[in-house]
Amino acid sequence: MAGEPAFEENLDILHGTLERFMVKEPPLTYAYETYEDLNIWMNPQIMQVTGDELKGFITTGTVGNAGAKNPWAEDSIIVKNITKEYGITPFKHYNGAMAFNKMEVSANSGPEKIFDVVKLQYRKAKAELIDAMRLAYWTGPTGAADVDAMYSIPSWLALGTVSSAGGYTGYTASYNDEDDDGDAVGTAFNKGNLASSAATNPEMANYFADHQGNLDESLMRVCNEALMRLNFKPPTSVPDSVLAQTNRYACFTSKNVMLTLNALYQKLNSNVGPNMFANGYYPMSMIPLPGAIRLVWVDILDTRRDSIYGKDPIFGINMNVLYPTYLKGWNMTLTDNDNSNRHLVGQKFIDFGGQVWCDVPSKAGFLITDCPAA
């Protein structure tokens, strides 16, 4: 009928009903685009509780008692110390916090409240803490004086020999103390405070290969060999096999590697046709590596960091051996108290105490990357 008001002109209804019904908590802003790696890495099936120390043992070298001997020969037994101990600080502390005024909380209550301001601040404080921890998991300490940062994944799966086609050459870890694109590895330090070389404690070395920036068919061969030599197991269940109790294997990489491999699979689809082993065409998302090992994009790894992992890295992690830990009772624990100088101001803290631990570095996984020259 002519002269009837349009819906947007009916302000009584708009203000009295629709506005209050539709308004929800404002969405949070996050530091990163994807958190899939963190969902895998910090899954309850992966994380383990630690106590007052983190220590491990390796069996190194040979004794030399085995061999062919005359049954009438005198016995001669060689005795050697074949075990070595290594360890790290049991936990590092990461903290998030928020503050609120108690009178303002009272004002933000009742039917007039559109959303819970304190709840929103808590969510933001927790998100910022998670962002800080996620970056720490992939970067680690910046130097010997950095006593607050936890060990990282690259602290155990470290850079090795330049131009290596694949081998156990990641003897020492490195601090994140050089320019990201300076073509120089960071200052070296001993994993778990135990020196390692080809002649001494080689079991502390991780598998490393240098793809030298060649993101093509040759990369698949390098990855295939690494997965074979580290005995990575294929998935046995769907849809999220890397979180299965018995098969905690996944590979993490940059967007450039993901998109390049997608293009390679597209070429295979065009030139080869269906992949009989996958009951269809090569997948164009959630790319698996040879052996059907899941490959996950980590946007932090898009940033080249020559100090610790180079350019376009692929981290293969056996999370049965390399995993995050947390101190019992301090996994995102919420505590609160009043501000000592402002009795109307309440404070809430979110505390995490944890580390990245590795049972045996030589079995933990591999790093394949474009290795810095020096």
Among residues 267, 314, 265, 302, the alpha carbon closest in space to that of 285 is found at 265
pLDDT at 87 over 70: yes
253/311 Cα distance (integer angstroms): 10
pLDDT at 1 over 50: yes
> Per-residue confidence at 88, pLDDT binned at 50, 70, 90?
very high
Half-sphere exposure of residue 313, counting CA atoms within 13 Å on the CB side? 30
Q: If 0-12 CB within 10 Å is exposed, 13-18 middle and 19+ buried, where does residue 236 land?
A: exposed
> Per-residue confidence at 251, pLDDT binned at 50, 70, 90?
very high
> Which pLDDT does position 241 carry in this prediction?
45
pLDDT at 332 over 80: yes
Backbone angles phi, psi at 252, to 5 degrees: -125, 140
> Per-residue confidence at 13, pLDDT binned at 50, 70, 90?
low
Q: If 0-12 CB within 10 Å is exposed, 13-18 middle and 19+ buried, where does residue 287 land?
A: buried
- 342-356 confidence digits (pLDDT tens): 888 888 899 999 999
Give the number of residues written for the chain: 374
> Which pLDDT does position 202 carry in this prediction?
93
> Per-residue confidence at 213, pLDDT binned at 50, 70, 90?
very high
